[in-house]
């Protein structure tokens, strides 16, 4: 079951860096301010709840990737328990999820870049220019190979974490505790917020795509998943408390998209804003980097297993295959024509659904992968509850997102059916 790529094996630190890079970039800099708008002073509760759900899903991922290391990660897990039509449909859905993630985080990069380099002189097109720029640059970077990605992630993650941890450590001393009094919230509000915060953790799944590039996945992968998720939970809760204790509700509303950089003003002054905004650019870059790394591995696996036509996997240069070029172009279109809120809502739903299916696989394969049925079963119940509550919330407030979700589900199911039939004729 264990195979390692011919490239130099990735270390435990590099795999953890891929996971933290994907989680922290999307979670803190793209969604923390948006979640604070929903939960206000109770934001840290939403991140704690989302973290608990992520630990259950992460456990399933850890056991599966330790037993079945492969570059396909989640799409190979689907094949273990589901029929061909559903496997192909879910594989397409997960690929769409990764595309949406890159598009959303790239939009966040564009917002921070404008605040950092053009504050007071913003142009309506500048965010889109920066968004397209970062997608193209990181896509080209990923074509250089997985080990380069691992080394780049360690550098990016290390730099941004030093800045964020320093902000938390110093920001504690300027917290206004009266701003942390928990405001009442409804069940619908909590489900909506937990749906978003789960998305902030969902990047841990990218580590599974590196499992075949690890010398000893049975030992490394379980450690990598738990360390990355637990570290991220602590970081999110700490930063949420510092943010909420330093920014007034009106400031949160005004600067929701760049809230983390704004909190540096009362802590470190103008220089602090520049430092943290720069960290935001690093964070979002590393998240895009890790997500594209995963997407490229998945498309290669989809071509090699027949989910996608083999011709689509034709190599142009290293990992620059035909399907990966198409993937980049589609990501650019989504990033430039959908807003951050809709991207986040759709991606949150698709991540929850895909990870629910991973928990189902782990539950059904528990005896083979030596997983606890109690833990995986509890995870299934939790994720199902969050998913149902999130959908109810979207039905009352996010019909654009619901429409996109419905279209994505129909298209992926149709693709699964059509591709299954065409494979029989090949």
Q: What is the mean pLDDT of residues 35-63?
A: 93
The residue extents of the domains of the chain are 12-425
Question: E-assigned strands of 330-384?
Answer: none
Work out the pLDDT band at 1, boundaries 50, 70, 90: very low
Work out the pLDDT band at 253, boundaries 50, 70, 90: confident
Fold category of 12-425 in CATH: Amino acid/polyamine transporter I (1.20.1740)
Give tens-digit pLDDT for 265-307. Answer: 888 888 888 888 888 888 888 788 878 887 887 888 888 888 8
Burial class of residue 400 (count of CB atoms within 10 Å of its CB; 0-12, 13-18, 19+) = middle
Work out the pLDDT band at 184, boundaries 50, 70, 90: confident
In sequence order, the 6+-apart residues with CB closer than 8 A to the CB of 9 are: 213, 214, 215
Give tens-digit pLDDT for 59-97. Answer: 999 999 999 998 778 888 999 999 999 999 999 999 999
Give tens-digit pLDDT for 393-409. Answer: 888 876 788 888 999 99
Give tens-digit pLDDT for 308-351. Answer: 888 888 887 766 788 899 999 999 999 998 887 788 889 999 99
d(CA 396, CA 142): 40
In sequence order, the 6+-apart residues with CB closer than 8 A to the CB of 298 are: 71, 72, 73, 74, 75, 91, 94, 95, 98, 209
C-alpha of 11 from chain center: 21
Which candidate, 77, 60, 91, 78, places its Cα nearest to that of 1? 77
pLDDT at 25: 67
pLDDT at 2: 45
- The pTM for the full model equals 0.86
**Residues comprising the chain, all counted:** 426
């Amino acid at each position: 079951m264990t195979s390692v790529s011919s490239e130099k094996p990735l270390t435990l630190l590099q795999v953890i860096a891929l996971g933290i890079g994907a989680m922290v970039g999307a979670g803190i800099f793209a969604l923390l301010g948006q979640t604070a708008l929903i939960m206000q002073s109770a934001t840290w509760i939403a991140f704690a709840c989302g973290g608990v759900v992520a630990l259950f899903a992460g456990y399933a991922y850890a056991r599966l990737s330790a037993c079945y290391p492969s570059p396909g990660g989640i799409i190979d897990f689907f094949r273990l328990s589901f029929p061909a039509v559903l496997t192909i449909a879910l594989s397409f859905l997960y690929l769409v999820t990764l595309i949406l993630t890159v598009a959303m985080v790239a939009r966040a990069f564009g917002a921070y870049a404008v605040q950092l380099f053009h504050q007071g002189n913003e142009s309506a097109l500048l965010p889109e220019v920066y968004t397209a720029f970062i997608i193209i640059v990181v896509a080209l970077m990923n074509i250089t190979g997985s080990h380069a990605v691992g080394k780049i992630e360690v550098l990016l993650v290390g730099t941004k974490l030093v800045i964020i941890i320093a902000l938390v450590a110093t920001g504690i001393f300027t917290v206004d505790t009266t701003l942390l009094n928990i405001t009442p919230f409804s069940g619908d509000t909590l489900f909506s917020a937990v749906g978003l915060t789960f998305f902030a953790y969902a990047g841990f799944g990218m580590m599974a795509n590196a499992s075949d590039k690890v010398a000893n996945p049975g030992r490394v992968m379980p450690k990598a998943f738990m360390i990355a998720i637990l570290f991220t939970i602590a970081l999110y809760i700490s930063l949420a408390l510092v943010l909420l204790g330093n920014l007034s509700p009106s400031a949160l509303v005004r600067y929701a998209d760049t809230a983390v950089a704004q909190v540096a003003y009362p802590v470190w002054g103008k220089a602090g804003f520049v430092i943290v905004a720069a960290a935001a650019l690093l964070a979002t870059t590393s998240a895009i980097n890790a997500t594209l790394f995963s997407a490229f591995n998945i498309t290669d696996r989809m071509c090699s297993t027949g989910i996608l036509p083999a011709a689509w996997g034709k190599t142009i240069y290293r990992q620059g295959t035909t399907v990966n070029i198409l993937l980049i172009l589609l990501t650019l279109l989504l990033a430039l024509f959908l807003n951050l809120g809709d991207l986040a809502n759709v991606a949150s739903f698709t991540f929850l659904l895909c990870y629910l299916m991973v928990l189902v696989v782990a539950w059904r394969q528990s005896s083979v992968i030596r997983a606890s049925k109690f833990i995986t079963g509890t995870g299934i119940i939790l994720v199902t509850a969050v998913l149902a509550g999130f959908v109810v919330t979207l039905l009352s407030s996010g019909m654009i997102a619901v429409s996109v979700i419905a279209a994505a589900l129909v298209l992926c199911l149709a693709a699964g059916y059509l591709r299954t039939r065409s494979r029989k004729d090949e």
